[in-house]
Structure 1
Amino acid sequence: MPQNCIAPKPEQFNSNHSENGPPEMAEPHNSSVVAYPMQTNQQSLPKLIMFPIILKFEELLYKVKLEQKRMCWGSKGSCKEKTILNGITGMVCPGEILAMLGPSGSGKTTLLTALGGRLNGKLSGKITYNNQPFSGAIKRRTGFVAQDDVLYPHLTVTETLVFTALLRLPKTLTRDEKVQHVERVITELGLSGCRSSMIGGPLLRGISGGEKRRVSIGQEMLINPSLLLLDEPTSGLDSTTALRILNTIKRLATGGRTVVTTIHQPSSRLYYMFDKVVLLSEGCPIYYGPASTALEYFSSVGFSTCVTVNPADLLLDLANGIGPDSKHVTEQSEGLEQERKMVRESLITAYDQNIATKLKAEVCSLEVNNYNFTKDAMSKNHIRPEQWCTSWWYQFKVLLQRGVRERRYEAFNRLRIFQVISVAFLGGLLWWHTPESHIQDRVALLFFFSVFWGFYPLYNAVFTFPQERRMLIKERSSGMYRLSSYFLARTIGDLPLELALPTAFVFIIYWMGGLKPDPMTFILSLVVVLYSVVVSQSLGLAFGAILMEVKQATTLASVTTLVFLIAGGYYIQQIPPFIVWLKYLSYSFYCYKLLLGVQYNENDYYECSEGKFCKAVDFPPIKSMGLDHLWVDVFIMALMLVGYRLLAYFALHRVR
């Protein structure tokens, strides 16, 4: 069974490095360990204080409801519960690596998520960090590496880590010190060879899977975490790369961190690098203790093997209910399933008899000396537990800079530019120098302005938040920034990129189409189109934030644009009174009306028949729209602009 752990004082974890390298490493339970064992001869940076954390979890129980054919709130028995975690107890000390093993669906990731304070739903049991509950202070001292590498594809390795450092490191460090800190992490993780390479994604070739994994770990290393949680850090990697990753994790643990990781099927080399192992079978623990004594324990309860085997393979077989000498590993039948069930029940019973009671007593009796040192140290350093690492304005500037740099390729890709410019030239040729007497064609051109730049930005904006959902969840869960700073940086950063193309579009088609050749009229027409673009983009952001699913959001956008198109005031000029309210919901209607108001006034005439001139405002399509109260229309579009964006902002609060 594991030894009791004594919490060392925080200053013992923050020794300065000598010029010849880090101090000598001590054993995990020895209090004289260093906080950040970097192999570097560079001048030491200001210390990033690390507070050692003793993690304890007792009798964790987590259930989820499974919906049947009828809704759960229907009649009794329509909803069943599935137990994901069932009475799991354990503890991890600074300097130790606890590995969670088990087959797929055994509850490893759920347990890790619970330990990181990120599990939604009702969790029974108790999780403490130095005998304290989860808090904002713990949250910002916890590094969480998810199973999937959630990274921006168009940023380089250095850019990714620098932006993370700027957002997550305290404001007491200067920008140069943060960048220097990034350089140390890059060197420690062996990323120097790919530092200037883009991360890459499905449509962009970038760095390898192992390098992406190290970048993800590096993002968490930047904050010098006291508690490091990793979900399948070696998933999808070859054995050599996996060993390199785990060697890095081992060094981090030896530096005084508390490390917990899930791992699916480690090699024997990886297995013996773990200090402790928790083995789960369908949410129930069947072993907890030192990794080196697992085979000895299972042999003592009647599950020994006569051949040399990778301990992890044997443990996973047992978690699946397969005995060491079973000859029916791959077969499936009702009898074999019953046999596997009996094996699992036997292992659970053995755990309750041999491990559970002693472990519970040990965890309950464990007293963390100086468990309140975190608060004391924070008060000495004038740090409030719930304080953000950086100011709102600083977060906004960094997020704005990162957003522009990430999306510069997306916003100005060749296909998008070709799409807009080709439509502009084609439209210009179709409406080539339309004479003033062809007022119907001119009105149609203005309606085309309102329709194209009312719907094109809407469909682009729909993808914004669904595509960034995973990144938003990851970074918000780490306490990197306020939602308001992210939202404003994301939406304002898009404006220059989103407004450049419609500006070029109007420049081309306005003069080719032969509209009123007056500079002021042109400028006002451009302003109205850009105004419509921003309002349309706002509605797209709201759709995406509310639904957070691209297919559903685009479907809703399609229906909306169809309604706005029909009720926009061009196709149907006399809408029945009982449904006339639809056109007042359409920003395309207001944009069309404002464009008509800019282009025509009481003094404009057109040749309505040979030799006869009529007032433009009396032309039926224009007259049905009405050119009065234009400032009211401007105000209504402003309300739409603000309302849609507020709706999108509050919808993002639900993202978990």
Structure 2
Amino acid sequence: MPFHNLVLKPENSSSDSVEGLPNMSNPNNMSEPHNTAVLAYPAKQSFLQLTIYPITLKFEEVVYKVKLEEKGLCCGGTLSSTEKMILNGVTGTVCPGEILAMLGPSGSGKTTLLTALGGRLSGKLSGKITYNGLPFSGSIKRRTGFVAQYDVLYPHLTVTETLLFTALLRLPNSLTRDEKVEHVERVITELGLSRCRNSMIGGPLFRGISGGEKKRVSIGQEMLINPSLLLLDEPTSGLDSTTAQRIISTVKRLASGGKTVITTIHQPSSRLYHMFDKIVLLSEGCPIYYGPASTALEYFSSIGFSTSITVNPADLLLDLANGIGPDSKHVSEQGDNTEQEQKSVKEALISAYDKNISTKLKTELCSLDVNNYLYTKDASTRRDSKSEQWSTSWWHQFKVLFLRGLRERRYEAFNKLRIFQVISVAILGGLLWWRTPTSHIEDRIAMLFFFSVFWGFYPLYNAVFTFPQERTMLIKERSSGMYHLSSYFLAKTVGDLPLELALPTAFTIIIYWMGGLKPDPTTFILSLLVVLYNVLVSQSLGLAIGAILMDVKQATTLASVTTLVFLIAGGYYIQQIPPFIVWLKYLSYSYYCYKLLLGVQYNEDDYYECSKGVICRVVDFPAVKSVGLNHMWVDVSIMALMLVGYRLVAYLALHRVR
């Protein structure tokens, strides 16, 4: 069934049953701990509340350090490096049905800890993190939903299209297409997205759905797989209090179905705070409280940090994490504590944590241990390659990604400004070279060189933006194990072909016949094929530059230098390049395109009127003689090597994106 014929039919509430859910049974035949029994829920319970593989997450003494290079030079003339502690011995546990909230000021390590718990932290991580007593693996990864702080969504897709493409990629082949559509419909209904289901997501250049709706779409993408473990990074960031309340209420409802939920949150309101089951409070990477949210104020009061006024508990906790004690005179008179006072408060809180919470917590965790799998190794290698399986086949991924690319780029590729840009240049060029006589060989050759230059550089600059703009999306989707990198790369490059080749075809048709080039259908078709061939090679180089640098400014700068060199060495401006730098000419695809266009238009037996009454051979004209009209198949082969080589470099460069 083609995508445009899909109609999402509303589901009755009574149809929300387990039937049709993805098979979340153990795909790796690993032994199931005693606490992972299948949960049974009433038939009328919400679809998003059904969890059939509950996960108990435990983390003990999690430590994470990063190396910082100092500017100064030390002995021996090398840069000195120091280690910065990001996480320092964080411990805790979260059970199915609970929400654990990580609080702390900016830079306290909340997002780093969340990323570590989601198995996405690169670098050296030490400590013990277990999921039902087992280390992170492919099976856990497929049961984990991760919602980043910033919503990474395609702006030109509608809410329905966004969720449907995600379902087609992430739900297994064991489900039919209709069943996947039903899942999408249920998620839309559950998250209250029915009113905006046909609205575009929107972006910085045009208005779309609201920020709260975008956040719910991001949560919905993760809920499609019915995750057992849900991680959310600042889900209420930038939202008003009412919208934030709706988001956390949705998350609370999801947790009530047996899901394990962990979220970071910067400064929740008192209404949000009381929805949390457990709290981890961090101060500069060190834990200063872990336990029930309801007893946090009582704990701090017991260690001498009580307040005489009624405050939002989250405000008091954040003040303490910043080293500001409650009812401080310095706070009211000066607006801030001195650095020394803040340091002493933090030291007192850390000492109290070690004395009152840490020891007791470790004892509780030891009694609950199922598997003492202690590891200290590079987090990027903490994956069980044998257990890594894909939900869908490579060909299915390619088809879905290809269709999604066409849907997303339908507005970008054929926008009015781009069409006007190309067509206006073609018409202006056709008027300037209007019916150029065969005797004006300089002008005709200049027109052919313009073909090679314009369609050698224009596609390159468009392609340079492709991968840098999709970097965050690629990281997000690959971290979730949605598809093979090869299926994404081929779908992206193949999907661009009809869009990238349509405009140069229209351009060539206009300027070729207006300019008065050889009026032969075969010659015209060959010239068009050469131009399109040049477009593909140029696009390949642009993709390679963008994939290597992954930065728009750096990529455009390198592209500018490259195109300038290719323009000068293209064989038209300089016929006699010095021998020591003549190799630059053979790196320029514009040179080969220019030579092929000359070979299509002329042969060695063609003549032109070089002066009144004097006939000269075309092959003896300096601009033609410098490149020659022979060995055309060699030029075609070299451009083929460039096309394949540049795209291979781009593909290999994307493997580095993490």
Q: 1:12 aligns with which of 35, 39, 42?
A: 39
SS of alignment partner, residue 11 of structure 1: coil
Deviation at 1:130, TM superposition (A): 0.9
Tell me what 2:296 maps to.
294
Residue number among 553, 556, 565 corresponding to 2:555 in the alignment: 553
Q: Distance in 2 between matches of 1:443 and 1:585?
A: 21
Distance 2:599 2:63 in 1: 66
**Shift, 1:614, TM fit:** 1.7
Give the whole-Å Cα distance in 2 for the aligned partners of 1:75 and 1:532: 48
Question: Could you tell me which of 472, 476, 479 is aligned with 2:478?
Answer: 476
Q: Is the 8 A contact 2:71 2:79 kept in 1?
A: no
Matched, 1:493 2:495: yes
CA contact (8 A) 1:50 1:225 kept: no
The answer for the alignment partner of 2:157 in structure 1 is: 155
Q: 2:596 — aligned with what?
A: 594
In 1: Cα distance, 2:74 partner to 2:127 partner: 25
The Cα shift of 1:638 comes to 0.3
| Per-residue deviation, 1:360 | 1.0
AA paired with 2:368?
A: L
Which of 603, 617, 620 is the equivalent residue of 2:619?
617
Task: Give yes or no for contact 1:186–1:218 (8 Å, CA) kept in 2.
Answer: yes
Runs of 4+ in 1 over 6 A off after TM superposition: 71-74, 330-335
Residue equivalent to 1:37: 49
In 2 relative to 1, CA 446–71 (structure 1 residues): closer, same or farther, beyond 3 Å? farther
Secondary structure (helix, strand or coil) at the match of 2:626 reads helix
2:284 aligned to 257, 282, 285, which one?
282
CA drift of 1:8 comes to: 3.9
Q: Structure 2 CA distance, aligned partners of 1:92 and 1:513?
A: 73
| Aligned residues of 2:595 and 2:629 also touching (Cα < 8 A) | yes
Matches within 5 A, 1:74-473: 78-329=80-331, 336-368=338-370, 385-473=387-475
Q: Distance in 2 between matches of 1:560 and 1:52?
A: 55
* Alpha-carbon distance in structure 2 between the residues aligned to 1:52 and 1:9: 6
State the partner residue of 2:45: 22
1:526-605 pair list within 5 angstroms: 526-605=528-607
Is contact 2:171-2:180 (8 Å) kept? Answer: yes
Name the CA distance, whole Å, in 1 between partners of 2:64 and 2:598. 62
Q: Distance in 2 between matches of 1:349 and 1:167?
A: 49
The one-letter code of the counterpart of 1:22 is Q
- Superposed displacement of residue 547, structure 1: 0.2
Do the aligned partners of residues 456 and 292 (structure 1) sit closer, same or farther apart at CA in structure 2, a change above 3 Å counting?
Answer: same
Which residue identity does 1:566 align to in structure 2? I
SS at match of 1:294: helix
* AA aligned opposite 2:225: I
Confirm or deny: 8 A CA contact 1:395 1:481 kept in the other structure: yes
- CA deviation after TM superposition for structure 1 residue 9, in Å: 4.0
SS of equivalent residue, structure 1 residue 62: strand
CA change 1:331–1:389 in 2 (3 A) is farther
Equivalent residues of 2:36, 2:55 under 8 A apart: no
Aligned position for 2:22: none
SS at match of 2:424: helix
- 2:641 pairs with 1:639: yes
Q: Aligned partners of 2:528, 2:402: CA distance in 1, in Å? A: 26
Structure 2 counterpart of 1:575, one-letter code: I
CA contact (8 A) 1:144 1:229 kept: yes
- Rounded Cα–Cα distance in structure 2 between residues aligned with 1:244 and 1:121: 36
Question: Counterpart amino acid of 1:233?
Answer: P
- Offset at residue 96 of structure 1 (A): 0.6
- Larger displacement relative to structure 2 (325-334 or 124-133): 325-334
Shift of 1:492: 0.7
The 8 Å contact of residues 48 and 187 in structure 2, kept in 1 or not, is answered as no
Structure 1 residue 255: deviation in Å?
Answer: 0.6
How far, CA to CA, are the matches of 2:541 and 2:486 in structure 1? 18
- Give, in whole Å, the separation in 2 of the partners of 1:606 and 1:330: 92
CA shift digits 1:548-570 (9 cap, x unpaired): 00000000000000000000000
Distance in structure 2 (CA, Å) of the matches to 1:37 and 1:134: 24
In 2 relative to 1, CA 77–466 (structure 1 residues): closer, same or farther, beyond 3 Å? Answer: closer
Per-residue Cα deviation, 1:127-152 (whole angstroms, up to 9, x for no partner): 11111111111111100000000000
Deviation at 1:336, TM superposition (A): 1.0
Amino acid at match of 2:286: C
Q: Tell me the distance in 1 between the aligned counterparts of 2:328 and 2:512.
A: 79
Query: Once the two structures are superposed, what CA deviation does each residue of 1:26-51 show, in whole Å capped at 9, x if it has no partner?
Result: xxxxxxxxx7438xxxxxxxxxx731
Number of aligned positions between the proteins: 613
| Mapped partners of 1:106, 1:12: distance in 2 | 36
1:7: Cα distance to partner?
5.8
Give the letter aligned to residue 262 of structure 1. T
The structural deviation recorded for 1:11 is 2.1
Q: TM-score, normalised by structure 2?
A: 0.91
Whether the aligned pair in 2 keeps the contact of 1:7 and 1:54 (CA below 8 Å) is no
For residues 72 and 212 of structure 1, the distance between their equivalents in structure 2, rounded to whole angstroms, comes to 49
5+ residue gaps, structure 1, are 1-5, 24-34, 39-48, 372-383
* Cross-structure match for 2:383: none
Matches within 5 A, 1:505-520: 505-520=507-522
Higher mean C-alpha deviation, range 332-341 or range 70-79: 70-79
**What is the rounded CA distance, in whole Å, between the counterparts of 2:401 and 2:415 in structure 1?**
22
Q: Runs of 5+ in structure 2 lacking a partner?
A: 1-32, 374-385
Pair 321,169 (structure 1): closer, same or farther in 2 beyond 3 Å: same
The answer to whether the 8 Å contact 1:7/1:53 transfers is no
* Local SS of the residue matching 1:595: helix
RMSD of aligned alpha carbons = 1.8
Residue 90 of structure 1 aligns to a residue whose secondary structure is strand
The SS at the match of 1:86 is strand
* Partner SS state of residue 616, structure 2: strand
- What is the match of residue 18 of structure 2? none
- Write the letter of the residue equivalent to 1:69: K
Aligned to 2:26: none
Change (3 A) 1:261 1:461: same
Structure 2: how far apart are the matches of 1:243 and 1:490? 39
Between the aligned partners of 1:553 and 1:37, the Cα distance in structure 2 is 46
Kindly state the Cα deviation for residue 620 of structure 1 after the two structures are TM-superposed: 1.6
2: CA distance, partners of 1:72 / 1:447: 55
Task: Choose 550-559 or 615-624, whichever is displaced more.
Answer: 615-624
Supply the distance in 1 between the matched residues of 2:511 and 2:425 (Cα, whole angstroms).
9
The Cα shift of 1:80 comes to 1.9
Asked if the contact 1:54/1:368 (under 8 Å) is kept, the reply is no
Deviation at 1:618, TM superposition (A): 1.7
Asked whether the equivalents of residues 143 and 227 of structure 1 are also in contact (C-alpha less than 8 Å), the reply is yes
Per the alignment, residue 66 of structure 2 pairs with: 64
Deviations 1:597-639 (A, max 9, x none): 0000123211112122222122121111111110000000000
- Tell whether the 8 Å contact from 1:7 to 1:368 is kept in structure 2 after alignment: no
Query: How big is the shift at 1:368?
Result: 4.6
Q: Residue 20 of structure 2 corresponds to which residue in structure 1?
A: none
Equivalent residue letter for 1:120: S
Alignment check: 8 A CA contact 1:57 1:128 kept: yes
2:542, 2:471 → 1: CA distance?
15
Identity of aligned residues (%): 81
Moved more, 79-88 or 153-162: 79-88
